[in-house]
Amino acid sequence: MEISLYNKRLHYALILSFITIGYNLLEGIVSTFYGASDETLALFGFGLDSFVEVLSGIGIAHMIYRMKRNPVVERDSFEITALKVTGTALYILTAGLVIGAILAVINKSEPDTTLAGIIIAVLSILTMYFLYREKIKVGNQLDSKPIISDAKCTKTCFYLSFILLASSLLYELWQIPYVDALGSLGIAWYAWKEGREAFENARSKSLSRSSDCC
């Protein structure tokens, strides 16, 4: 591949990683605010997961920046630390969401409204679909397994948005009991899965292995 074209595509991949970080940061702030004020555990957990994705995104951006300077075959200490911190945060989030869901059922807690969750989920679905499509495209063009892996991580966020949308819609339209708690458990399952993959990737310095999340 022509060097100038390769660098342009790497630059675009770096821009996509910055967009991912910025969007997840904004999404995390808005989601946790409305999740707390409306007492919807699914939205609050979704927001916390967005903050964790910021940590993961920083590791990815760092890796792509290194790729722009020299060929990269292994993760460096910064990326490994970012993966370990991400994995730990996701495990803590999983435990918190499971405990929160159990307490919500015991105390018969229900959200005031899940309208914010519907709006945020729709925006997230559109944004994550765009990011996934573009990351897959540039990852294939560069034949880069790490960028393709990051795209798969974005696809997981895409699925999480559908869980939030489903639980929020069901409650807002029909006030189905405990559907918000059930939605938070769905987010917890994905958080646990992502956390496990983060630690697996941290143990393997090689970037040649393929996984669902970088």
For 51-68, write each residue's pLDDT tens digit.
Answer: 999 999 999 999 999 888
Measured between alpha carbons, how far is 120 from 163 in angstroms, rounded to an integer?
Answer: 12
At 160-195, the pLDDT tens digits run 999 999 999 999 999 999 999 999 999 999 999 999
Percent share of the chain, pLDDT over 70: 94
Every domain of the chain and the residues it spans = 3-203
User: 3-203, what's its fold?
Assistant: Alpha-lytic protease prodomain-like (1.20.1510)
Closest CA to 185 of 71, 116, 97, 67: 97
- pLDDT tens digits for 111-161? 999 999 999 999 999 999 999 999 999 999 998 888 888 898 899 999 999
Within a 10 A sphere around the Cβ of 31, how many other Cβ atoms?
Answer: 28
Question: How far is residue 122's CA from residue 70's CA, in Å, rounded to a whole number?
Answer: 39
